[in-house]
């Protein structure tokens, strides 16, 4: 094993479980998922647990995250089986998140999650406007979203987050402000605010291609983003990553692990891992996944071993997405490289243009660079 | 060898009319190479030449052929087939007594055929008309023979109908070369004079000179002198191309071969120079021909300023095999340190550019090519400039002259109107029109080089649906009403974007130009104003709008590999850009200023 990946070997990884089912597919979603209808859910859960068992020898995981798809589209008993087993295998995770769909997560399901040690919930609310929810293909209503979040809070969850999407066709700066205010008023700990992206292969992408919908003006998109940063800051949310905001101490540790380029293990169809210096991805097909697991074979389909340069660049790009930025000492420890030295050329230019700012032992994107981060980060994508 | 049995000749032809195939067939029929050895187009030995199907460097091969009981020595001197390399054709012809003018039996006489015929006539060599590809179904040898007689004045009944591909008629052609082409003059007893008609650099043996002996002889271990530089060298090897380099003890009058004489630097050998015996020198050198003139200039800058010395090394390497390309250091206020390069023409430029990129890993930004101008200063002094930025202040200029060419276009009669309209818009003056036959016409123009050097050929190809061919040759420089258009990017003048144009269409060109630039310059995080100035006065303005949003909203564990790829691609898109202040100008922006289309 090459030296650069050595630090990650003894590091406790994050654990991600992918539930590849949804009640219906959302118009913007490019993640792998299938409709629940007619699926053998217990069999899939067994396969997930079987794959998870293969990592039994890993003594501890830092964080657990069950996402999808939609974990709450599983029957309650199956979700309980999944959560319980994982929690008992790795009882000491600092953070255990389950993604919830507002319309699906009922009070029984939520209390079961609480009982099993889940300590963080993330609700896919996306919007508080009916027209936007319809366009996005979401089945729930704004009221259901509010109700679900309140139920979770009433059950004692103290770390609850929601996802919001802005720059949805038809939205305005005003409608976005009202969505943000609704979110803030719910008194949660975490908000992710994503600019809508049109991913190839999604219904929204097709609709735009056919001219049925238009993406929103770039200036408006930018203004919506800036508005989110300002309003959320005023409400006490700290922006800690390009699209993520949290109250002090409630940053999603699982995702921070990814941006710190720490190792993680992905379980389930299409799930990706960064483990023992290798980036792998499981086969993105439920049946193929199940049959491989049941046959005792690896579910891995893509395999790539980042070399030292890849590791340096990945670490730089991922770190720079966070508001903490690159911690020079951590960077050196993780990659064995001097960040300021290997990226001297792009740093010189972007610092001169005020897109990157340096503090004590830290280098990060300037606020004005956030909305155009890719145009800066691309200069760190190769050496 | 008795000069009576020596024949020195070249094959000249329009591109793709079968020159190289004919050469291959001759090599085979004379047993110089076997059919198995006959790689396609043996004489073209550079990759780019083969890829582009054109010959760039002349080369020479010696063949032996039995005719009427005598062994003849046939020296075939190959010539390039493109307008940019005219001077190489003339220097090859200067080493010959005869030339085969090859014309495709289905295509007929083309512009290059005419240009080549002119060159041959000017050099005074005997021309034999050869109609090739008579095996093709579309062949019209009789029609083509008529054309040859009409346009080139070669009697139609004296043309040879052959198929280089099948070999039909090639033996008869070889017989005719022995029978009809003149032998070299017998001057064996005169002092040695040999013409250097080409040279190349060999990493182990130094410079290899290609020579044709006109009088006396050359011997191994002789001390020879290059008359132009006056330097003397010991001849260490003489030889012939058969086609591999084959050493001989001497080269006699009329013969063609090579000299190795421990000459280190290609620059020490002037092609066109005369080699003589150092102990018994000839009183005068051979009549030389014009040295090549660089007609197209372009600046090359390293994308990254720290690669300047790497770029210099790359150019030095290139000049080892191409002495007709020049480069001098250039310091642009906007672009930093780079090189001003001179080329024979646009194709020559493209070839150099391609080799530079293929053989070196350097990110290059190249400015739009421009022709050279003559500036008559107030004090009467005449200066040659190869860049609009070198243009002195107007108050110091008495007259500004631009290069003019004789332009020949051969096309179908139905496209005459379109071509004449284009030519007029490009300030070309029709000199004469000549019908080759009822459907084909040859037009001769007097044209400003600047107007035809860039996209003119593509345009007439378009107008004539691929039918028209053109060729041109520099005639002189003439004073015209020229002005410089300057471009300001973000308020800063960018010398590399300046162009010199005729005053009558300067304003229109300027307006078009910034529209092109606006499209070519990527959006930045701030607005980039573009301005056009003529004579210091701003005449137009455009703005490249700022981009406001460029960020991946979601990047989690599952996306890392894919997103890194996307970012790398985005970075790749920034290559071949030059920073001017905080504005990134891509390669295509520099080139876009030449695009005159709407």
A279-312 per-position pLDDT tens digit = 999 999 999 999 999 999 999 998 999 999 999 9
Residue B570 with chain A: CB contacts under 8 Å = 374-375, 378, 381
B550 and A382: CB-CB below 8 Å?
no
Whether pLDDT at B331 is above 60: yes
A382 and B555: CB-CB below 8 Å?
no
A158-183 mean pLDDT: 96
Q: What pLDDT, on a 0 to 100 scale, did the predictor assign at position A1?
A: 37
> In this complex, which of A196, A272, A381 lies closest to B558 when CB atoms are compared?
A272
C-alpha dihedral (B251, B254, B255, B260), degrees to nearest 10: 60
A371 and B560: CB-CB below 8 Å?
no
Q: Give the predicted TM-score (pTM) of the model.
A: 0.66
Q: What pLDDT, on a 0 to 100 scale, did the predictor assign at position B54?
A: 41
Which of A26, A122, A136, A218 is best to mutate for the B interface (most B CBs within 10 A)?
A218
Domain ranges of chain A: 3-259, 309-380
Tell me what the pLDDT averaged over chain A comes to.
93
Sign of the dihedral through C-alpha B19, B24, B26, B32 = positive
Residue-wise over A211-242: b if at least 16 C-beta within 10 A, else e?
A: eebebbebebbbbbbbbbbebbeebebebbbb
Which pLDDT tens digit goes with each residue over B85-143?
A: 777 788 889 999 999 999 999 999 988 888 888 888 888 899 999 999 999 999 999 99
Q: What pLDDT, on a 0 to 100 scale, did the predictor assign at position B290?
A: 61
> For chain B, which domains are there?
3-180 (3.40.50.300), 193-277 (2.40.30.10), 296-366 (3.30.70.870), 374-480 (3.30.70.240), 485-592 (3.30.70.2570)
Tally the C-alpha atoms within 13 A of residue B154's C-alpha that lie toward its C-beta: 26
Which pLDDT tens digit goes with each residue over B221-235?
A: 999 999 988 999 999
Residue A342: pLDDT band with limits 50, 70, 90: very high
Residue A58: pLDDT band with limits 50, 70, 90: very high
Number of DSSP helices (H) and strands (E) in chain A, helices first: 16, 17
Q: What pLDDT, on a 0 to 100 scale, did the predictor assign at position B52?
A: 45
Q: Report d(CA B302, CA B336) in Å as an integer.
A: 9
Which of B303, B527, B549 is best to mutate for the A interface (most A CBs within 10 A)?
B549
Which of A195, A369, A374 is best to mutate for the B interface (most B CBs within 10 A)?
A374
Whether pLDDT at B56 is above 50: no
Which pLDDT tens digit goes with each residue over B505-543?
A: 899 989 988 998 999 898 888 899 999 999 889 999 999
User: Among B364, B366, B361, B353, which residue's Cα sits nearest to residue B304?
Assistant: B364
A378 and B571: CB-CB below 8 Å?
yes
The CA distance from A374 to the nearest CA of chain B, in Å, is: 5
A381 and B550: CB-CB below 8 Å?
no
Residue B559 with chain A: CB contacts under 8 Å = 272
Q: Give the chain B residue whose CA is nearest to the CA of A31.
A: B558
The CA distance from B249 to the nearest CA of chain A, in Å, is: 57
Q: What's the CATH code, domain A309-380?
A: 1.10.10.920
Q: Give the chain B residue whose CA is nearest to the CA of A278.
A: B561
- B586 contacts B366 by C-beta, under 8 angstroms: no
Whether pLDDT at B58 is above 60: no
A375 and B525: CB-CB below 8 Å?
yes
Q: What pLDDT, on a 0 to 100 scale, did the predictor assign at position B112?
A: 83
Q: Report d(CA A308, CA A316) in Å as an integer.
A: 12
> In this complex, which of A264, A353, A374 lies closest to B570 when CB atoms are compared?
A374
Residues of B with CB under 8 A from a CB of A: 525, 547-561, 563-564, 567-568, 570-571, 574, 579, 582
> In this complex, which of B548, B558, B570 lies closest to A378 when CB atoms are compared?
B570
A333-338 mean pLDDT: 95
- A143 contacts A129 by C-beta, under 8 angstroms: no
User: Among B309, B210, B208, which residue's Cα sits nearest to residue B260?
Assistant: B208
Q: What pLDDT, on a 0 to 100 scale, did the predictor assign at position A248?
A: 96
B311-327 mean pLDDT: 83
B178-207 mean pLDDT: 91
Q: Report d(CA B234, CA B16) in Å as an integer.
A: 41
Residue A264 with chain B: CB contacts under 8 Å = 557
CATH superfamily of A3-259: Aldolase class I (3.20.20.70)
Which pLDDT tens digit goes with each residue over A352-374?
A: 989 999 998 999 999 999 999 99
Q: What percent of chain B has pLDDT over 90?
A: 53
Residue A349 with chain B: CB contacts under 8 Å = 579
Tell me what the pLDDT averaged over chain B comes to.
88
Exposure of A194 by Cβ count < 10 A (0-12 exposed, 13-18 middle, 19+ buried)? buried
Whether pLDDT at A113 is above 80: yes
Q: Report d(CA B91, CA B550) in Å as an integer.
A: 58
Q: Give the chain B residue whose CA is nearest to the CA of A302.
A: B561
The CA distance from A79 to the nearest CA of chain B, in Å, is: 22
Which of B558, B574, B580, B583 is best to mutate for the A interface (most A CBs within 10 A)?
B558
B408-413 mean pLDDT: 92
């Amino acid at each position: 094993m090459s030296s650069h990946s050595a630090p990650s070997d003894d590091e406790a990884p994050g654990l991600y479980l992918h539930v590849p089912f949804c009640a219906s597919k959302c118009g913007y979603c490019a993640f792998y998922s299938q409709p629940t209808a007619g699926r053998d859910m217990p069999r899939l859960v067994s396969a997930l647990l079987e794959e998870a068992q293969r990592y039994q020898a890993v003594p501890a995981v830092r964080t657990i995250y069950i996402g999808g798809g939609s974990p709450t589209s599983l029957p309650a008993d199956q979700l309980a089986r999944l959560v319980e087993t994982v929690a008992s295998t790795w009882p000491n995770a600092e953070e255990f998140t389950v993604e919830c769909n507002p319309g699906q997560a009922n009070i029984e399901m939520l209390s079961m999650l609480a009982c099993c040690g889940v300590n963080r919930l993330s609700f896919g609310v996306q919007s508080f406007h009916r027209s936007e929810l319809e366009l996005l293909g979401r089945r729930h209503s704004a009221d259901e979203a509010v109700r679900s979040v309140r139920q979770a809070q009433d059950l004692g969850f103290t770390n609850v987050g929601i996802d919001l999407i802005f720059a949805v066709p038809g939205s305005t700066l005003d409608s976005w402000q009202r969505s943000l205010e609704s979110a803030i008023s719910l008194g949660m700990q975490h908000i992710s605010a994503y600019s809508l992206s049109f991913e190839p292969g999604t219904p929204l992408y097709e609709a735009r291609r056919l001219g049925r919908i238009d993406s929103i003006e770039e200036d408006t998109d930018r203004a919506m983003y800036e508005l989110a940063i300002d309003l959320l800051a005023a409400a006490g949310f700290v922006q800690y990553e390009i699209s993520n905001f949290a109250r002090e101490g409630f940053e999603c540790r699982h995702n921070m692990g990814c941006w710190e380029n720490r190792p993680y293990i992905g379980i389930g169809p299409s799930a990706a891992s960064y483990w023992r210096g290798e980036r792998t991805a499981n086969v993105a097909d439920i049946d193929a996944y199940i049959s491989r697991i049941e046959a005792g074979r690896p579910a891995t389909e893509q395999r790539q071993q980042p070399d030292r340069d890849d590791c340096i660049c990945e670490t730089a790009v991922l770190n720079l997405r966070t508001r903490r930025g690159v911690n020079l000492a951590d960077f050196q420890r993780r990659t064995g490289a001097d960040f300021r030295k290997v990226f001297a050329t792009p740093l010189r230019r972007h610092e001169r243009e005020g897109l990157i700012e340096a503090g004590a032992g830290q280098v990060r994107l300037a606020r004005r660079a956030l909305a155009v981060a890719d145009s800066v980060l691309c200069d760190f994508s190769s050496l | 060898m008795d000069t009576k049995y020596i024949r020195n000749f070249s094959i000249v032809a329009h591109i793709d009319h079968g020159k190289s195939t004919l050469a291959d067939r001759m090599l085979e029929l004379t047993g110089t190479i076997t059919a198995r050895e006959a790689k396609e187009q043996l004489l073209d030995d550079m990759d780019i030449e083969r890829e582009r199907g054109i010959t760039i460097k002349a080369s020479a091969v010696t063949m032996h052929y039995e005719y009427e009981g005598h062994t003849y020595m046939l020296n075939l001197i190959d010539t390039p087939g493109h307008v940019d390399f005219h001077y190489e054709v003339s220097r090859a012809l200067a080493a010959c007594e005869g030339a085969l003018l090859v014309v495709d039996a289905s295509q007929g006489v083309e512009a290059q055929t005419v240009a080549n015929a002119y060159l041959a006539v000017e050099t005074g060599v005997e021309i034999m008309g050869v109609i090739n590809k008579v095996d093709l179904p579309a062949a019209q040898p009789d029609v083509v023979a008529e054309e040859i007689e009409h346009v080139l004045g070669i009697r139609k009944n004296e043309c040879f109908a052959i198929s280089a591909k099948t070999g039909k008629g090639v033996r008869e052609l070889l017989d005719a070369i022995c029978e009809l082409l003149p032998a070299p003059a017998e001057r064996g007893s005169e002092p040695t004079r040999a013409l250097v008609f080409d040279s190349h650099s060999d990493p182990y043996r130094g410079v290899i000179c290609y020579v044709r002996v006109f009088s006396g002889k050359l011997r191994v271990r002789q001390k020879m002198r290059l008359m132009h530089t006056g330097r003397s060298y010991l001849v260490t090897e003489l030889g012939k191309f058969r086609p591999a380099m084959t050493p001989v003890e001497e080269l006699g009058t009329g013969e063609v071969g090579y000299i190795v004489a421990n000459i280190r630097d290609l620059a020490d050998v002037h092609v066109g120079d005369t080699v003589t015996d150092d102990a018994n020198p000839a009183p005068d050198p051979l009549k030389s021909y014009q040295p090549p003139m660089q007609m197209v200039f372009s600046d090359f800058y390293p994308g990254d300023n720290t690669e300047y010395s790497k770029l210099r090394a790359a150019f030095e390497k290139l000049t080892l095999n191409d002495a007709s390309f020049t480069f001098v250091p250039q310091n642009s206020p906007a672009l930093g340190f780079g090189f001003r390069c001179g080329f024979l023409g646009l194709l020559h430029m493209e070839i150099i550019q391609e080799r530079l990129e293929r053989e070196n890993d350097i990110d290059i930004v190249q400015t739009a090519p421009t022709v050279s101008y003559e500036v008559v200063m107030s004090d009467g002094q005449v200066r040659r400039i190869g860049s609009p930025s070198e243009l002195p202040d107007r108050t110091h200029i008495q007259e500004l002259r631009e290069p003019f060419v004789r332009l020949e276009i051969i096309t179908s009669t139905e496209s005459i109107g379109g071509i004449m309209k284009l030519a007029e818009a490009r300030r070309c003056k029709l000199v004469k029109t000549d019908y080759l036959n009822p459907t084909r016409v040859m037009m001769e123009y007097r044209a400003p080089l600047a107007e035809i050097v860039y996209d003119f050929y593509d345009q007439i190809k378009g107008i004539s649906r691929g039918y028209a061919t053109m060729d041109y040759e520099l005639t002189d420089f003439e004073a015209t009403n020229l002005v410089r258009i300057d471009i300001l990017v973000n308020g800063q003048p960018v010398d590399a974007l300046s162009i010199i144009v005729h005053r009558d269409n300067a304003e229109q060109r300027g307006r078009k130009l910034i529209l092109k630039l606006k499209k070519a310059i990527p959006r930045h995080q701030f607005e980039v104003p573009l301005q056009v100035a003529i004579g210091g006065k701003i005449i137009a303005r455009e703005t490249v709008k700022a981009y406001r949003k460029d960020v991946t909203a979601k990047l989690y564990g599952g996306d890392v590999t894919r997103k890194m790829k996307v970012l790398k691609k985005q970075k790749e898109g920034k290559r071949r850009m030059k920073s001017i202040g905080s504005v990134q100008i891509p390669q295509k922006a520099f080139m876009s200023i030449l695009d005159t289309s709407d």
